[in-house]
Amino acid sequence: MTTPSQPGALVISLDFELHWGMRDHTRREDPNFADLSASRPVVEDLAKLFARRSIRATWATVGFLFASKRQEIAAFSPEVRPNYKRPELDPFVETVGDDEASDPEHMAGSLVDLLSGTPGQEVASHTFSHYYCLEAGQDVDSFRADLAAAQAIARSRNLHLTSLVLPRNQWNPLYAPAVLQSGFNCFRGPQPSWGHEGRSQGGQSLAHRAARLADAYGGLSAPPTIAWDRLRRDDDLCDVPASAFLRPYVPNRRALEPLRIARLKAGLRDAGRRGRIFHLWWHPHNFARFPRQSFDLLNTILDEFDRLAQSDGMRSFSMRDIAGIIGDSDPQSPSSLTERIEAQ
């Protein structure tokens, strides 16, 4: 095999959203709601694990969660808001408590501070309000206002956000100029397959869900990876598309776990040996119900990454790192990219 001109890379991003990411289908009395408070220590444990293992990660955080008090949410909420045709998608009608202590499912300022202070961890945006770019009733003006609010509440914690993950991977290419104008230079595009294409909720079908499930446990090929020279788009945004979703551990699929692990390792090996990028993502609350099994799985994946780091020089990067490496370099110039990678 020809030695690649650039090293392979592992990119990890986490959609940190708590109840804001599921409020349209999960009420406080639902069993899944209990996973949200349980996921707060998961965030702390993941940050410790990443720091201990020198893993750089991107935490795409809903803007509401930057608040520690209800007054902060009110102060930074945009005046121009989406008018979703499905009223259950409107997050601004949600009742929230007085502060983070009384409502840990809707505010997480202390965790944002923890992440920003942990080596190698990038605090990024999951939009201010868990904004849905492909749902009926929203438009580019409300989207731009939402991103401005996300940047404003981040500045209140001395952060500037440059990476963006869109809720439910609803990338709208018409909104690329608004993304750039709002201070972002990098986003996570959808995984390149039919089952993972960005769609509105109404466009999702059982067939799409079945395709994603089958892909995770029984895909005939390794998860997709991306070449370094395919990251920068013509509009100058850096797109680091998803390779695989780290699905929650489910006991009744225990027998399928070896298949899932083998496929994730295959994706890592493809990236490591061919000098490409493998982008793994999930939500912290995915680890809440079965934390031991979930962390065991993650450590198995990171062990494989460590082997590839030793044998093939594979590296760990955040989305911000990737965008910085791509920068203004000529994507067709291997030497330029290599120099930027080595400088990280």
Instruction: Calculate mean pLDDT across residues 135-155.
Output: 98
Cα-Cα-Cα-Cα dihedral sign, residues 145, 155, 114, 304: positive
What's the rounded Cα separation, in Å, for the pair 143 and 69?
24
Residue 3: inside a domain, yes or no?
no
Q: Name the band, by pLDDT with cuts 50, 70 and 90, for residue 196.
A: very low
Q: CA nearest 280: which of 317, 231, 229?
A: 317
Give the burial string for 268-304 (b: 16+ CB within 10 Å, else e): bbbbbbebbbbbbbbbbbbbbbeeebbbebbeebbeb
Query: Which residues are CB-neighbours of 264 under 8 A, at least 6 positions away?
Result: 223, 244, 246, 280, 301
Beta bridge partners of 163: 186
Strands 276-282 and 226-227: antiparallel
* Residue pair 9/97 in contact by the 8 Å Cβ criterion: no
User: What pLDDT is stored for residue 5 in this prediction?
Assistant: 77
Residue 4, domain member (yes or no): no
Average pLDDT of the chain is 91
CA distance 33 to 47: 22
Residues constituting the chain: 344
Structure tokens at 139: 């438009």
Residue 138 included in any domain: yes
Residue 149 domain-assigned (yes or no): yes
In the chain, the percentage of residues whose pLDDT exceeds 90 is 81
Instruction: CATH number of the domain at 232, please.
Output: 3.20.20.370
Strand ranges inside 195-326, DSSP E? 226-227, 238-239, 244-245, 276-282, 315-317
Q: Which residues, 6+ apart, have CB-to-CB distance to 245 below 8 Å?
A: 191, 212, 216, 280, 281, 282
Does the residue 296 lie in any domain?
Answer: yes
Can you say whether residue 54 is alpha, beta or left, with left for phi > 0 and alpha for psi between -120 and 50 degrees?
left
Count CB-CB contacts under 10 A for residue 75.
13
Give yes or no for residue 192 having a pLDDT over 80.
no
220 Cβ contact list (under 8 Å, min separation 6): none
Query: Does the structure show a pLDDT above 50 at 195?
Result: no
- Residue 191: the pLDDT is 81
Domain residue limits at 93: 9-343
Cα gap 323→228, rounded to integer Å = 11
Of 22-31, 206-215, 300-309, minimum mean pLDDT range? 206-215
pLDDT at 271 over 60: yes
At 57, give phi and psi (nearest 5°).
-145, 155
Q: Is residue 99 part of a domain?
A: yes
AA identity, residue 330? D
How does residue 211 score in pLDDT terms, banded at 50, 70 and 90?
A: very low
How many separate domains does the chain show?
A: 1
Share of the chain above pLDDT 70, in %: 86
Residue 1 lies in a domain: no
In a domain, 328, yes or no: yes
